[in-house]
């Protein structure tokens, strides 16, 4: 069987609860690697360099862009974010399913260069939940919350370009949904061409 992993792109407005859904996904499904993005934004309380993000200066980020080190990169809110190419390629070849948690603009760029990517959009049931979660997090200023709400609406409009939508009413159920999607994708005929070809080769032995 072909061992190459799936590239899974997860987007959704800030405050949709993507992080929690993905954390539960890892508890239930181990063949998964998260791509650690590079960002120029300051670390939030408790965030660790190399775990949550690689935190870089604008100059360092621009150098990485010039060196072609990103699968995609974007300005989101007032900061730069990018997906390092090398790690993604390595994990896919090693047979892991790789999750990119990125904004819709970057996601559509990934889909362009990697059409096999599985696109999952996570949204809360109501828009007001986003605002409540952002306020509950207490890490953003009023101005940042305003920008993020505006951005949430922009992101929601892109949901139609995704393959799957998960309404995050319950993060454990959301994680189960992601695993169901992964399993369904793995059963797709287009992802099992080599296996079927091998069976057909074997079938030659049975021709009369
Ligand atoms: P946050 O600052 O809350 O961690 O992330 C803000 C937004 O940036 C989120 O929508 C997140 O999905 C997006 N983001 C994080 N990493 C990347 C990346 O590497 N590329 C792109 N395009 N967006 C990213």
Structural domains counted in the chain: 1
**Residue 1: band (very low, low, confident or very high) from pLDDT cuts 50, 70, 90:** very low
Ligand 1 in reach of 82 Cβ (< 6 A): yes
Atom of ligand 1 nearest to the CA of 155: 10
Structure tokens at 26: 């890892």
Contact call for residues 33 and 99 (beta carbons, < 8 A): yes
CA 55 / ligand 1 centre spacing (Å): 12
Q: Is residue 112 part of a domain?
A: yes
Residue 131: give the domain boundaries: 7-35+96-206
Nearest protein Cα to ligand 1, atom 17: 102
Nearest protein Cα to ligand 1, atom 11: 102
pLDDT tens for 125-167 read 888 888 888 888 777 889 988 888 898 999 999 999 999 999 9
Nearest protein Cα to ligand 1, atom 21: 102
Atom of ligand 1 nearest to the CA of 79: 2
Ligand 1 in reach of 103 Cβ (< 6 A): yes
Question: Does residue 101 register a pLDDT over 50?
Answer: yes
pLDDT tens for 25-75 read 999 999 999 999 999 999 999 999 999 999 999 999 999 999 999 999 998
- Could you tell me which residues come within 8 angstroms of residue 145 by beta carbon, excluding any fewer than 6 positions away? 131, 134, 135
Q: Is residue 200 part of a domain?
A: yes
Smallest Cα–Cα separation from 141: which of 183, 111, 149, 107?
149
CA dihedral (168, 172, 176, 179) positive or negative:
positive
The CATH number assigned to the domain holding 104 equals: 3.40.50.300
């Amino acid at each position: 069987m072909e061992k190459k992993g799936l590239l899974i792109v997860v987007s959704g407005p800030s405050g949709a609860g993507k992080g929690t859904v993905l954390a539960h996904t890892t508890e239930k499904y181990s063949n998964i690697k998260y791509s650690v993005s590079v960002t120029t934004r300051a670390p939030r309380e408790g965030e660790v360099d190399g775990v949550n993000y690689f935190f870089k200066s604008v100059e360092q980020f621009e150098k990485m862009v010039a060196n072609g080190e990103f699968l995609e990169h974007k300005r989101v809110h007032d900061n730069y974010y990018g997906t390092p190419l090398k790690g993604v390629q390595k994990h896919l070849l090693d047979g892991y399913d790789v999750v990119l948690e990125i904004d819709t603009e970057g996601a559509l760029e990934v889909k362009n260069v990697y059409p096999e990517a599985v696109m999952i959009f996570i949204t809360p049931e109501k828009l007001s939940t986003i605002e409540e979660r952002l306020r509950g997090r207490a890490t953003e200023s009023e101005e940042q919350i305003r920008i993020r709400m505006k951005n949430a609406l922009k992101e929601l409009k892109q949901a139609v370009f995704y393959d799957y939508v998960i309404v995050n009413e319950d993060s454990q159920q959301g994680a189960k949904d992601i695993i169901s999607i992964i399993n369904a994708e793995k059963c797709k005929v287009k992802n099992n061409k080599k296996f079927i070809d091998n069976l057909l080769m074997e079938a030659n032995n049975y021709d009369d």
